[in-house]
C-alpha cells in the first residue's frame, strides 16, 4: 500500500465536465460550481451545474444505448468490460485516492483502501455478468414447459452521497451494468470528482456511448432524475428523509426503488467479550470517517458491570488518535465534510448535554492549525435509549454508552430505533452470540468484528434504513425484471369453445 503524504503544493484546481452519450458535456445553462477542500478551504475542483435539460439529454442517451444493443449484449461482453474498468481503477488508484481525500476530507490512507475495494467490486460484478441464470419448470404437465428469465429493468437513475462517493457508486453501477441496464448518475455536489473520473475510465474501457451518463449539480438534478418518466428505476444512497422524498417521487410513476439509507447502529458488549478488541472496534466504529458513515457504530450497549471501565478505555484510546490533515499518511481522522454537517454535530452534542447525558470527553471543534472542520472525538455516558443522541443519526464522531443488565434488555435497546442497518455483538459465548444475531433487527449483524464488507455479501437494512439489497449475487436481481415464458408442447387439445362446424386444419 502506498504511504506517500501530500501537501497543498501538490494540489491544482481541476475542471471536470459531465459525461453524456460518451462525450464530455457542459451544462446547457453554462453555469458551473466549485468545490473547496473541507480540510483546507482551498479550491480543488469545479464542475458544470446541470439542470433538467441535461438530465433529459442523459436519459435520451441512456435509452438509445439500451435499445441500440446493450440490452442484448452477452454476459461475456459485459464481463470483459467490467474487468477492464477494475484494471483501470487500479492503474489510476493514487489519482483517485487524492481526489477523494481533497473533496471529502478523509485521510489519504482511507481513500486508498476504498479505491482498492472499488476495483474488487467491479471484478465481482464481472463474475456475475456471466452467471445470470433463470429457472425451467418441466413438471407442469406433458404439454407445458415454462421458463423464468431475468431481463434488464432499463434505464437506472443513481443518486449517491458525499461520504464514500467512489465506493458507493461502485456498489450500484457495475451490478446494474452486469444485468444489462444503462445508467444516469448524479453524484453529490460536494464530492463529484471521483465519480466523473470513474466515468472517464468506463469510457476508456470501451463501453458503448450512452451506457453510463453522469450529470453534476445540486438537488435539482436529483429531483429531475427521480421524477423523469424515461427512467425505470431509482437507486439512492443517503439520508432517510431524502430517501422518503425520492421514493414518493418515484412512486408517482411506479418506478422500482432501491434505497440504502441511514443507521443508528448498536454494538452490544458482554462481560465475556474480548475487552481490548471490543474497545478498539468501538473507537473504530464511532470515529471512522469522522462518524460520517451509515454503518457508524454510534451506540455502545455495554453490560452495567463494565460500562464505566469500557467508556474510560474508549476515551483513552480516542485521545491517541491522530486527527488532522488528511493529506498526511499517518492521519487517522480527517475533517467533517462541510459547515452544515458541523452544525448538525454541534446541535446533537448540545441536545445530549441538555438531556442529562454526561459528556466524558470531546464535544467541541478541534484546532489543528488548518482551516478545516475538525471535531473532537466525543463520548457520552449516562445515556438513555430515548435521548436524541441514542435514537437519531448524527453523522459525526459522537459515541453514546448505554448500560444494560440482561441480554433481553440489550436486544430491546438495540432494536428501539426506527433504523435497522447493522448491529454487532461481542461475546465469546457462541449461544449468546447466535441468539443476539437472530434477534437483532438489522440487515447485517457482525459477531466479534465490526464494519467488514465483501462484494460477495449483500448489504442493506430494515425499517427506515432502506429497501432492497446491494452487493452479493442478490444485487443482480435488484437490477432485473423477472419474466415468465410459457410454451405449448405439441398440439393444444383443450378447447374453451368447441364449434363442430368450424373449419379444421
Q: Specify the CATH number for the domain of residue 384.
A: 3.40.309.10
Residue 107 reports pLDDT greater than 80: yes
Exposure of 335 by Cβ count < 10 A (0-12 exposed, 13-18 middle, 19+ buried)?
Answer: buried
The CB-side HSE value for 121 (13 A sphere, CA atoms) comes to: 26
Whether 374 and 231 map to the same domain: the answer is no
Whether 279 and 206 map to the same domain: the answer is no
Q: Which of 123, 189, 260, 478 is catalytic?
A: 260
pTM of the shown model:
0.95
- Taking the C-alpha atoms of residue 53 and residue 228, their distance in angstroms, rounded to an integer, is 11
- Taking the C-alpha atoms of residue 64 and residue 230, their distance in angstroms, rounded to an integer, is 11
Sequence-ordered list of residues with C-beta below 8 angstroms from that of 362, at least 6 positions apart, any chain: 318, 375, 376, 377, 378, 379, 397, 398
- The packing angle between helices 407-414 and 430-439, to 10°, is 30
Q: Which domain holds residue 281?
A: 266-447
pLDDT band at 504 (very low <50, low <70, confident <90, very high): low
Q: Which of 103, 294, 393, 478 is catalytic?
A: 294
| 181 assigned to some structural domain | yes
pLDDT of residue 3: 83
pLDDT of residue 493: 81
**Could you give the 3-state DSSP secondary structure of residue 20?**
strand
C-alpha cell at 331: 492521519
pLDDT average, residue stretch 276-287: 97
- Whether residue 169 contacts residue 140, with contact meaning beta carbons closer than 8 Å, is answered with no
332 DSSP assignment: S
Active site residue 351: no
pLDDT of residue 151: 96
Specify the higher pLDDT residue, 501 or 55. Answer: 55
Average pLDDT across the chain, whole number: 96
pLDDT of residue 492: 84
| 190 assigned to some structural domain | yes
**Mind listing the pLDDT tens digit for each residue in 300-353?**
999 999 999 999 999 999 988 999 999 999 999 999 999 999 999 999 999 999
Q: Are strands 18-20 and 23-25 parallel, antiparallel or unpaired?
A: antiparallel
Residue 354 reports pLDDT greater than 80: yes
Cα 455–Cα 456–Cα 459 angle in degrees, nearest 5: 70
The CB-side HSE value for 209 (13 A sphere, CA atoms) comes to: 9
Whether 395 and 332 map to the same domain: the answer is yes
**Mind listing the pLDDT tens digit for each residue in 16-41?**
999 999 999 999 999 999 999 999 99
| 491 assigned to some structural domain | no
Sequence-ordered list of residues with C-beta below 8 angstroms from that of 237, at least 6 positions apart, any chain: 159, 160, 161, 168, 171, 172, 259, 260, 261, 294
Radius of gyration of the chain (CA): 25
φ, ψ at 447 (rounded to 5°): -115, 115
| 475 assigned to some structural domain | yes
- Whether residue 54 contacts residue 221, with contact meaning beta carbons closer than 8 Å, is answered with yes
- Taking the C-alpha atoms of residue 133 and residue 380, their distance in angstroms, rounded to an integer, is 50
Whether 346 and 422 map to the same domain: the answer is yes
Q: Look up the CATH number of the domain holding residue 43.
A: 3.40.605.10
DSSP structure string for 436-502 = HHHHS-SSEEEES--S---TTS-B--EETTEES-BSTTHHHHHTEEEEEEEEE-S-----SS--TTS
| 316 assigned to some structural domain | yes
Kindly list the distances between the CA atom of residue 107 and the CA atoms of 10, 75, 94, 95, 324, in Å, as whole numbers in the listed order: 16, 37, 13, 14, 9
- Whether residue 186 contacts residue 225, with contact meaning beta carbons closer than 8 Å, is answered with yes
| 328 assigned to some structural domain | yes
Sequence-ordered list of residues with C-beta below 8 angstroms from that of 242, at least 6 positions apart, any chain: 236
- Residue 162: alpha-carbon gap to chain centroid: 10
pLDDT average, residue stretch 94-121: 98
Kindly list the distances between the CA atom of residue 237 and the CA atoms of 52, 70, 322, in Å, as whole numbers in the listed order: 21, 25, 29
Q: Which of 447, 476, 495 is the last residue of a domain?
A: 447
pLDDT band at 463 (very low <50, low <70, confident <90, very high): very high
- Give the number of other CB atoms < 10 A from CB of residue 341: 24
**Could you give the 3-state DSSP secondary structure of residue 348?**
helix
**Which residue, 352, 181, 326, is CA-closest to 258?**
181
Place of cell 460550481: 33
pLDDT band at 242 (very low <50, low <70, confident <90, very high): very high
- Taking the C-alpha atoms of residue 313 and residue 304, their distance in angstroms, rounded to an integer, is 15
pLDDT band at 104 (very low <50, low <70, confident <90, very high): very high
Whether 295 and 249 map to the same domain: the answer is no
Residue 1 reports pLDDT greater than 70: no
- Whether residue 35 contacts residue 221, with contact meaning beta carbons closer than 8 Å, is answered with no
Whether 82 and 134 map to the same domain: the answer is yes
pLDDT of residue 505: 66
pLDDT average, residue stretch 11-19: 96
**Mind listing the pLDDT tens digit for each residue in 176-225?**
999 999 999 999 999 999 999 999 999 999 999 999 999 999 999 999 99
Q: What percentage of the chain carries pLDDT values higher than 90? A: 95
φ, ψ at 260 (rounded to 5°): -115, 110
The residues with which 256 forms a beta bridge, in sequence order, are 233
How many structural domains does the chain have?
2
pLDDT of residue 501: 74
102 DSSP assignment: H
Whether 364 and 470 map to the same domain: the answer is no
Active site residue 294: yes
Whether 381 and 274 map to the same domain: the answer is yes
Whether 209 and 156 map to the same domain: the answer is yes
Whether 127 and 13 map to the same domain: the answer is yes
pLDDT of residue 374: 96
Amino acid at each position: 500500500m502506498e504511504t506517500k503524504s501530500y501537501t497543498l503544493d501538490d494540489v491544482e484546481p481541476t475542471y471536470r465536465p459531465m459525461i453524456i452519450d460518451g462525450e464530455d458535456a457542459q451544462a446547457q445553462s453554462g453555469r458551473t460550481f466549485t468545490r473547496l477542500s473541507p480540510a483546507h478551504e482551498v479550491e480543488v475542483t469545479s464542475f458544470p451545474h446541470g439542470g433538467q435539460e441535461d438530465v433529459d439529454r442523459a436519459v435520451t442517451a441512456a435509452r438509445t444505448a439500451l435499445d441500440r444493443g446493450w440490452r442484448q449484449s452477452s454476459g461475456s461482453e459485459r464481463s470483459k468490460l467490467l474487468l477492464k474498468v477494475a484494471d483501470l481503477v487500479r492503474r489510476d488508484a493514487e489519482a483517485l485516492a487524492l481526489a477523494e481525500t481533497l473533496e471529502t476530507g478523509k485521510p489519504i490512507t482511507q481513500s486508498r483502501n476504498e479505491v482498492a475495494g472499488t476495483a474488487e467490486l467491479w471484478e465481482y460484478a464481472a463474475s456475475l455478468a456471466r452467471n445470470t441464470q433463470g429457472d425451467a419448470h418441466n413438471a407442469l404437465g406433458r404439454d407445458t414447459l415454462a421458463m423464468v428469465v431475468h431481463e434488464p429493468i432499463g434505464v437506472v437513475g443513481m443518486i449517491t452521497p458525499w461520504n464514500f462517493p467512489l465506493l458507493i457508486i461502485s456498489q450500484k453501477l457495475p451490478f446494474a451494468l452486469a444485468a444489462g441496464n444503462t445508467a444516469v448518475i448524479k453524484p453529490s455536489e460536494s464530492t463529484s470528482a471521483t465519480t466523473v473520473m470513474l466515468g472517464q475510465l468506463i469510457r476508456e474501457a470501451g463501453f458503448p456511448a450512452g451506457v453510463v451518463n453522469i450529470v453534476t449539480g445540486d438537488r435539482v438534478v436529483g429531483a429531475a432524475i427521480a421524477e423523469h418518466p424515461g427512467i425505470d428505476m431509482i437507486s439512492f444512497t443517503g439520508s432517510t428523509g431524502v430517501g422518503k422524498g425520492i421514493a414518493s417521487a418515484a412512486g408517482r410513476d411506479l418506478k422500482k426503488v432501491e434505497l440504502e439509507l441511514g443507521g443508528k447502529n448498536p454494538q452490544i458488549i458482554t462481560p465475556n467479550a474480548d475487552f481490548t478488541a471490543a474497545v478498539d472496534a468501538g473507537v473504530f466504529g464511532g470515529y471512522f470517517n469522522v462518524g460520517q458513515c451509515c454503518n457508524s457504530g454510534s451506540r455502545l450497549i455495554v453490560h452495567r458491570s463494565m460500562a464505566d471501565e469500557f467508556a474510560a478505555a474508549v476515551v483513552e484510546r480516542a485521545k491517541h488518535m491522530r486527527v488532522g490533515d488528511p493529506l498526511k499518511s499517518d492521519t487517522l481522522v480527517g475533517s467533517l465534510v462541510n459547515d452544515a454537517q458541523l452544525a448538525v454535530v454541534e446541535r446533537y452534542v448540545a441536545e445530549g448535554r441538555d438531556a442529562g447525558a454526561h459528556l466524558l470527553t470531546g464535544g467541541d471543534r478541534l484546532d489543528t492549525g488548518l482551516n478545516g472542520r475538525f471535531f473532537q472525538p466525543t463520548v457520552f455516558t449516562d445515556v438513555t435509549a430515548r435521548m436524541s443522541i441514542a435514537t437519531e443519526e448524527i453523522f459525526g464522531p459522537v459515541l453514546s454508552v448505554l448500560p444494560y443488565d440482561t441480554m433481553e434488555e440489550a436486544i430491546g435497546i438495540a432494536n428501539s430505533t426506527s433504523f435497522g442497518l447493522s448491529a454487532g455483538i461481542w461475546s465469546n459465548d457462541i449461544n449468546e452470540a447466535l441468539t443476539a444475531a437472530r434477534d437483532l433487527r438489522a440487515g447485517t449483524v457482525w459477531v466479534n468484528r465490526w464494519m467488514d464488507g465483501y462484494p460477495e455479501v449483500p448489504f442493506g437494512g430494515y425499517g427506515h434504513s432502506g429497501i432492497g439489497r446491494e452487493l452479493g449475487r442478490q444485487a443482480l436481481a435488484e437490477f432485473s425484471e423477472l419474466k415468465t415464458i410459457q410454451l405449448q408442447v405439441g398440439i393444444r387439445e383443450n378447447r374453451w369453445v368447441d364449434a363442430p362446424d368450424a373449419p379444421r386444419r
